[in-house]
A = this chain, B = another copy of it.
Amino acid sequence: MERDKLLMTPGPTMIPPKVLQAMSRQIIHHRTKEFQAIFTEFNTKLKTVFDTKNDVLTFASSGTGAMEASVANLFSPGDKVLVGTIGVFGDRYVKIAKAYGLDVDVISMPWGQALDPEDIKKHLEEDVDNKIKAVIVTHNETSTGVTNDLEAIGQVLKGRPQLLVVDAISSLGGIPLKTDEWGIDVVVTGSQKALMVPPGLSFASLSDRAWDAVKQSKLPKFYFDFLAYREKLNDNDTPYTPAVTLIIGTNVALDMILDDGLDKVYARNRRLAEATRAAAKAMGLELFAEPTHASDIITSIKGPEGIDVEKVRKIMNTKYDIMITGGQGKLKGQILRIGHVGYVDQFDLLKTLTGLEYSLAEVGYPVQIGSGVTAAEKILKEGV
């Protein structure tokens, strides 16, 4: 019988029925007391999830729009920035910065590894005149399943004039991210991952010194002009028609996250990740990410020698209605990636691991049926 596909992807992630329901009501106009009451609540909850005292701006766009916005709003042509990249999404920030005519220094790690905060430190120390205006890093790189140590990178930046700009599109609301405490100046994220809402919203928070940079910026912008959004936010409004239904959905999803409690959400994702890693190992599979920085949002698994991982994915998808993802860019055909963030519980994960066992067996990989699931269950039964 037809079933919804179980999305164990890094995004879009599954939408909770309560969120779908809230979004399926007849639309309300954004210039009404009813919407403004929702927008006020929504903005307050966003600050809690961002772990910041600063305003969070909301845009009708994909996450990439907010990445671009951070570049267009903070810098001027020729400004120097340092981008630390460990995969597809770090590379995207390099491309955006170059598209806007910035002078881009790049620290790039082999895929599967995290940034070494010492490398950033050294690079900044060599920049004796502080030509570098900002350090831009990805918090969680979904293309490789690696999480950077943002707290340590924040430590490196402490007391330095450079802004710290973070792509937290896949991480915010899924793993700890202490925006103010870790000294992060700009955090950008999107709706379709840990926030459990369809794609179409992006967000950005800015520190006071980031706002100072905005005032100096000479790059052209209009739709993503941060100052216009901040000004309207004071009136509980947006400069352009907001994506009303997605905001209403996010407002409900944020309640679900905060009712659970951020710490509980983080703990659940961590345990789901541990269970996934243990299951992979029990199935005789090798993990792709370096163990010290393996992501709690998404687990990357190397394709076993001689096994067509795209075929494995296809069987999971068509036969068992479970969608996981493969490799992006140069990792295409080489890895499998299982997302475990957002509206995902242990039974979703166990179903996924079962489907993985079946599908690996079907393509001739010598998996012991039940091995992965058993290993995961042992971890999951401790409860999350």
Contacts and interface: CB of A to CB of B under 8 A. Distances in A.
A295 interface: no
Contacts of A11: 241
Interface stretch (A15-23, A39-47, A114-122, A179-187): A15-23
Interface stretch (A152-160, A215-223, A257-265, A371-379): A215-223
A29 interface: yes
A27 interface: yes
B199 A242 contact: yes
A62 interface: yes
A14 B244 CA distance: 12
Contact of A14 (B20, B26, B32, B63): B26
A12 B29 contact: yes
A194 interface: no
B60 A200 contact: yes
Given A27-B12, A29-B323, A200-B200, A63 B222 contact: no
Contacts of A189: none
A243 B23 contact: no
Interface string A228-263: 000000000001111111100000000000000000
A42 B223 CA distance: 25
A16 to B, nearest CB: 10
Interface stretch (A1-9, A133-141, A282-290, A358-366): A1-9
Interface string A86-103: 000000000110011100
Nearest to A246: B200
A100 B225 CA distance: 12
Contacts of A25: 4, 20
A112 interface: no
A60 B223 CA distance: 12
B222 A99 contact: yes
A199 B221 CA distance: 21
A221 B240 CA distance: 19
Interface of A: 4-5, 7, 9, 11-12, 14-15, 20-21, 23-30, 32, 59-65, 67-68, 72, 95-96, 99-101, 190, 192, 198-200, 219-223, 225, 239-246, 317, 323
12 contacts: A20-B24, A21-B24, A61-B61, A62-B241, A65-B65, A68-B223, A99-B220, A192-B241, A198-B246, A200-B200, A200-B246, A243-B246
